[in-house]
A and B are shown apart, each in its own frame.
Chain A
């Protein structure tokens, strides 16, 4: 975490942000039993934005992005994704999940299926894509994450970095409009972090709307157009990466940055 895995001089000129709203969160609250995990969250994400969410563990950052595709239920407030409001309506939830891809810390590939089957399963069963077309799409994305030769292996035969790239490709096969990343590099060996981050950068360059919970501050500096700092279930500070890292305002942010970058 101390040194970035790549230099920050990525050309961002073509990473445009549109005016269209991708995600709108208003006054959202969530409790685990009596524990108030998320407090009055307000967040608007434009299409094409790359947002990095940072914060100490237990600050609610993972819970926040997991609320966006209803892996966690919020108890108060409003979440609108792609123009669809998240309610208890299962049809709406499924609609949103089809448009929102998610990458997990522990990859969560399906170990009983080959890589290719992992990639084609959801397109075939959820989007009703013909099998041949689904395989073509899958191979396209496997080439994009640079492991087409692993298509017929099982997840257990791949390295962590390769598995995470497969997981990204699996999400992309559903042609999502928004991608959520929940600490995608935290479970990886240092030498594999870069290959995953490179894939994510490529995705950002193509204009994907991304919300990324990560401790990779180098990635935040290079790719994000907004960094959100959370603590105690609240958004404490948000800013563009340059000002966020060079000129943090709140004490909590300064303290966090000094811990994460300081040594």
Chain B
């Protein structure tokens, strides 16, 4: 057949080639070592130096870890056990402090007979976020998610159930007002809803709660904020801050892109001011300054105050991260949404934000992780965070005076586990939302 073609054309393929497998891969341990660690004299030298550095590090510390003592009730007892077992001058970790005081690291000064309440709250947290975070959780469970924050507050702080119920009612009220006013304008709806809710919270909640409590006294033993500490405090601040800063950040990011001058200016000033000030400054504002501005006698809970400022701090960062995601979307997405007749809010909700948020996931999760770690800064305003507040308190006890490394390692490990979980979740989410497969 090729003969016939050869007369008229210089070259014509008459059989198409089948694909062949790629050459046998050159992987294998030896090959890998040679390529990655010993590919030249410089790399060989660096490899050896690296191994020496790792060896030096471990030889210095392994004894300390190996000699760890759990069964001791004071630092002195701990040292004595190490000396008798490993000889004079031997060093060792004294994990006894964790065994002795773990409950303070976790719960702070929460009354021990009520530990079930934070534990239950923590377990319910998974039920509340499950339907939001994972697809395999039945969507029907989502009804629990909006109830959870109020239930959590009630379980943690205790007291009459009517307070949280009425605060939740404020949100319902705001939603009803919003729905009614939004017919005339979405922004107006937001404003009216917010004003009604704030007025209700300021002037309606406490008298109404008192009346309702007098009629139906339904409550559990109250626990004041001063008793909170350790990871109970860090996770409360972190979870609350995360849950509130994402929506606030989205609103600020959209506000910064808005055509409306006042909204844009407010968003820019808010973001730049909050981002430009150290978090500790804001925490001092929360703990000291706010009291001067609030009417005397108002008891505005310190944890709530700190949580609000931590939220604002994270929201400013998240707004900027999301702005990056918004900027990354091609102009055509906005135009296509417009051309189909979607109004601003529908276009944002259905087209723009799902894509912008997906792009922003790594940045958002970074901000969350950073914020969660920053909750330890509340030590500066006298709260008992797990990294400084609680260990300082434990060291004040004569038995554990002078213990430093062990609490740091323990608390650091727990922070790492929680943050690593967040990081892995963000990667899982990115993969799940990947749509550019070809």
Contacts and interface: CB of A to CB of B under 8 A. Distances in A.
Interface of A: 69-71, 90, 94, 97-98, 100-102, 104, 106-112, 121-122, 125-126, 154, 156-157, 170-171, 174
B227 interface: no
Interface in B330-368: 330, 332-333, 335-336, 338-343, 346, 350-351, 354-355, 358
Contacts of A109: 336
23 contacts: A69-B338, A71-B339, A90-B343, A94-B341, A97-B339, A101-B339, A104-B335, A106-B330, A107-B332, A108-B332, A110-B351, A110-B355, A111-B435, A112-B354, A121-B340, A122-B341, A125-B346, A125-B350, A126-B340, A126-B341, A126-B342, A156-B436, A156-B437
B433 interface: yes
Given A71-B338, A112-B355, A125-B346, A157 B333 contact: no
A69 B336 CA distance: 11
Nearest to A167: B336
Contacts of B330: 106, 108
B339 A156 contact: no
A97 B437 contact: no
B336 A108 contact: yes
A122 B332 CA distance: 16
Given A156-B437, A157-B438, A97 B338 contact: yes
Contacts of A157: 437-438
A126 B337 CA distance: 11
A150 to B, nearest CB: 14
Name, among A102, A110, A154, A170, the residue most crowded by chain B CB atoms within 10 Å (CB to CB). Answer: A110
Contacts of A69: 338-339
A170 B343 CA distance: 17
Contacts of B433: 112
Contacts of B335: 71, 104, 108
Nearest to B346: A125
A122 B435 contact: no
Given A106-B330, A108-B335, A110-B333, A122 B340 contact: yes
A223 to B, nearest CB: 22
B181 to A, nearest CB: 17
Contact of B435 (A70, A126, A154): A154
Name, among A101, A104, A108, the residue most crowded by chain B CB atoms within 10 Å (CB to CB). Answer: A108
Given A121-B350, A125-B346, A111 B338 contact: no
Nearest to B435: A154
A52 to B, nearest CB: 20
Contacts of B438: 156-157
A97 B340 contact: yes
Contacts of A98: 341
A69 B338 CA distance: 9
Contacts, number: 70
Contacts of A170: 340
Nearest to A91: B343
Given A121-B340, A174-B340, 20 more contacts: A69-B339, A71-B335, A71-B338, A94-B341, A97-B339, A101-B339, A104-B336, A104-B339, A106-B330, A110-B351, A112-B358, A112-B435, A121-B342, A121-B350, A122-B342, A125-B342, A125-B346, A126-B342, A156-B435, A171-B339
B336 A174 contact: no
Interface of B: 330, 332-333, 335-336, 338-343, 346, 350-351, 354-355, 358, 433, 435-438
B332 A104 contact: yes
Contacts of B339: 69, 71, 97, 100-102, 104, 171
Name, among A101, A104, A107, A122, the residue most crowded by chain B CB atoms within 10 Å (CB to CB). Answer: A122
Given A112-B354, A112-B433, A156-B438, A97 B341 contact: yes
A100 B335 CA distance: 13
A30 B436 CA distance: 38
Nearest to A157: B438
B41 to A, nearest CB: 47
Contacts of A156: 435-438
Of all A-B residue pairs in the complex, the 9 with the closest CB atoms, nearest first, are A108-B336, A108-B332, A122-B340, A97-B341, A102-B339, A98-B341, A126-B341, A156-B436, A154-B435
Nearest to A97: B341
Name, among B339, B351, B354, B438, the residue most crowded by chain A CB atoms within 10 Å (CB to CB). Answer: B339
Contacts of B358: 112
B332 A106 contact: yes
A94 B343 contact: yes
A107 B333 CA distance: 10
Nearest to B436: A156
B189 to A, nearest CB: 15
A108 B333 contact: yes
Contacts of B435: 111-112, 154, 156
Nearest to A71: B335
A104 to B, nearest CB: 6
A104 B340 CA distance: 12
Contacts of A108: 330, 332-333, 335-336
Contacts of B354: 112
A137 to B, nearest CB: 14
A154 B351 CA distance: 14
Nearest to A125: B346
A144 to B, nearest CB: 18
Name, among B332, B341, B346, B350, the residue most crowded by chain A CB atoms within 10 Å (CB to CB). Answer: B341
A157 B438 CA distance: 5
A155 B141 CA distance: 31
A106 B331 CA distance: 11
A229 to B, nearest CB: 25
Contacts of B338: 69-71, 97
Nearest to B352: A110
B436 A111 contact: yes
Contact of A174 (B341, B343, B346): B341
B423 to A, nearest CB: 23
